[in-house]
Chains A and B, each alone.
Chain A
């Protein structure tokens, strides 16, 4: 099975500090997209950031940025200047354009300490 792996079930960070969440994936497809989603407690999942696999430049969205290493099939999320509202479960996902299907990792629970 082609999988998405998040090796850190839990992470914590001090408010205003930086934290990096890890994700690795496997794929036999060349046309795919990678995403990080955030799921706050008891709330719906929302998109944090996306990366097209054909783009070499790492995506950034305000305090969120990724480190995309295509050869290593690695896609980590860096959160800078962490805020209390960043506390949530974060899911890495891989989307195949050919099948239209997204596969998710098992998530990393991020705690932000004041």
Chain B
């Protein structure tokens, strides 16, 4: 059994460039979450999907951020025109929405550094 996988694990980019992260959840999980974590802080909710539907998006998420889960399996998180303030760890998590409510299974994260 594979857990939640994220790719790439590390990304260094220059300000203004676009970046995309991919998350592959645990196969039977219907919910997929994106969180952002900066040093010394807890994960901050960005958005989540139930199957392919994006159910909630944080008001903190600017228009430069977009997430998709086209077939209800993997998900991508794209950041356009990156800014230095976007530097963070981007965490993906999945869960089985109907049982064990709310238990999240996390990937190892994608660390973004914007120069």
Contact = CB atoms under 8 A, between A and B. Distances in A.
B103 A47 contact: yes
Interface in A57-112: 91, 93, 95, 97, 99-107
Given A45-B43, A93-B42, A95-B102, 20 more contacts: A9-B40, A33-B102, A37-B104, A43-B108, A44-B106, A45-B104, A45-B106, A47-B103, A47-B104, A50-B102, A50-B103, A91-B43, A93-B104, A99-B56, A100-B31, A100-B55, A101-B48, A104-B35, A105-B42, A107-B40
Q: Is the interface of A mostly helix, strand, loop or mixed?
A: strand
A25 interface: no
B104 A102 contact: yes
A101 B56 contact: yes
Nearest to B106: A45
Contact of B42 (A50, A91, A100): A91
A43 B56 CA distance: 27
B41 A35 contact: no
Contacts of B105: 47
Contact of A100 (B40, B43, B56, B107): B56
Nearest to B41: A106
